[in-house]
Structure 1
Amino acid sequence: MVILFRLLLLIAILVLAYSAFKYLFHPRRKLEAAHEKKQFFFLDEEKNVRKNFLVTYKGVMFEGEKYLGTTDKSFEIVAIYLWAKQTERLKGLSNEDFTFIEEDIKLRYPNAKINWKSPIKEFLQAQRKQKNKTDK
């Protein structure tokens, strides 16, 4: 009976250690930690086309939806739609911040056309029009 109790206790300790290890090294936890510290972090399952990716940058969480399509050589992600989960946290972000996010996504998905949803879409359009006027 004592041996059985010790065996069950050992199994319980192993299960707890395994659970703690899985929790500490889970990518979602890293995303949440970066979000709290207002750092950049990109969480994506690149092999799973149907699963959206998450990006945190300067305390704002963005979600991106991937769309599969064809290129000249193969099937690739050809369109990405991005939006902020909490638009009230966008305060203080500039055009350069959104450009940084787009460039990082382009590194992972070079054939994708990145489309922002409101209100970021309108902000970027106004910024680009203003830049075009100053360039002329």
Structure 2
Amino acid sequence: MTLLLQLFVLAALIILVYTIVRYLRSPLRKLEQAQNDNQYFLYDDREHVRKNLFLTYKGAMFEGEKHVGSTDRSFEVVRISVRPKRTDKLEGLEYDDFMFIEKEIKDHYPHASIDWKSPVNELMKKRK
């Protein structure tokens, strides 16, 4: 009986440790933490192009919708539509901040053009 109880406690501890490690390694948790800390973080599942990418920069969260098309050699992500999740979090961001975000996205998807959605689109058009 005590052996059965010890096995049960051991199994419970293994499950608990596994759950904690899985939580700490979660990219969505890291994304949320980076947003709270006003840091840059890009969450993207490159294996699944249908899944949107999420990034946070200086407390603002952005969502990017990937569009696949053909390039000279293969089918790749050719356009990414980026929109802010909450426009009130854009306060304080400048043109150079959006250029940094574009550069980071281009590092991951060199063939993609970045299409900003409103209200960022208006700022980008004024500066270009």
Alignment correspondent of 1:125: 125
The alpha-carbon deviation at position 46 of structure 1 amounts to: 0.7
2:106 aligned with 1:106, yes or no?
Answer: yes
- Matched position secondary structure for 1:65: strand
Segments of structure 1 that go 5 or more residues without pairing to the other structure are 129-136
The alpha-carbon deviation at position 106 of structure 1 amounts to: 0.5
Alignment correspondent of 2:90: 90
The alpha-carbon deviation at position 42 of structure 1 amounts to: 0.5
The two structures, once aligned, show a CA RMSD in angstroms of 0.7
2:68 aligned with 1:79, yes or no?
Answer: no
TM-score normalized by the length of structure 2 = 0.98
Task: Give 1 or 2 for the bigger CA radius of gyration.
Answer: 1
The alpha-carbon deviation at position 47 of structure 1 amounts to: 1.0
**Count of residues in correspondence between the two structures:** 128
Alignment map for 1:33-52 (pairs within 5 Å)? 33-52=33-52
Identity of paired residues, percent? 48
- Matched position secondary structure for 2:8: helix
Alignment correspondent of 1:7: 7
- Runs of 4 or more, structure 1, over 6 Å off, are none
The alpha-carbon deviation at position 127 of structure 1 amounts to: 2.0
TM-score normalized by the length of structure 1 = 0.92
Letter paired with 1:46: R
